[in-house]
Amino acid sequence: MRFILTQYVVVQPTSDGLFLQGDRVLVNRLAQVGSLSDEKEFVAVNLRDSLGENHLMIDLCIAGPGDTIWVTEQFQVSRYTAADTARGVAVCLPQKGREVQVTPANAQLLFVALRNFENRTVIFSNGCLKENDRVLETVVLQHDYYWLRDISLSQGFVPEREVLGRVWRVSYSVGQGYGLWPSFRSNRWFLKVGAS
């Protein structure tokens, strides 16, 4: 059964300190259907590690399917207009069923998405993608993909199926207490976050 709001426990704090370990966040599970590309939207993401274990993470959504991000040589990412090309190389986030041109700027990101989320056997070599001994000039992905502020720096594109929904509020927060009793953080009761 799927509820509109689901509560999750934050295990790993966000890099900006907005979400703390022990926060109980309410996530709007129906919000994942629309675009998450508003820069003020925090999302809950279900990520699997190399051992196949799931981990809930909270992150800021920078861009959604079809949006363009600008990637610098230091792999810093931002959203700018086409006039800002000096700030980096343009990378368009894949949309489900749409053809994506393979470029040196996106080849490694596409490689990770194709291998990890699309179940395709591809090879990344010298800035190119190869499948069945043929160089791929374009690819079509079966999922919509997002770029998240912190997660994407290590994981690359994040598929929609891993996005649980938008974080709506912190319902309450539990810190480390003394003895058997947890310590409730009084300043985090029903705390509104983002533009939700």
pLDDT in tens, 119-156: 999 999 888 899 998 999 999 999 999 988 888 878 88
196: pLDDT strictly greater than 70: no
Q: Is the pLDDT of residue 76 over 90?
A: no
Decide if 117 contacts 143 (C-beta within 8 A).
Answer: yes
Strands 145-148 and 158-159: antiparallel
Q: What is the pLDDT of residues 34-53, one digit of tens each?
A: 454 455 688 888 887 666 77
The answer on 111 and 138 residing in a single domain is yes
Do 125 and 161 fall into the same domain? Answer: no
pLDDT of residue 118: 92
- Host domain of residue 35: 5-96+143-192
User: What pLDDT is recorded for position 56?
Assistant: 84
Domain count of the fold of the chain: 2
Q: 73 with 124, same domain?
A: no
pLDDT tops 80 at residue 79: no
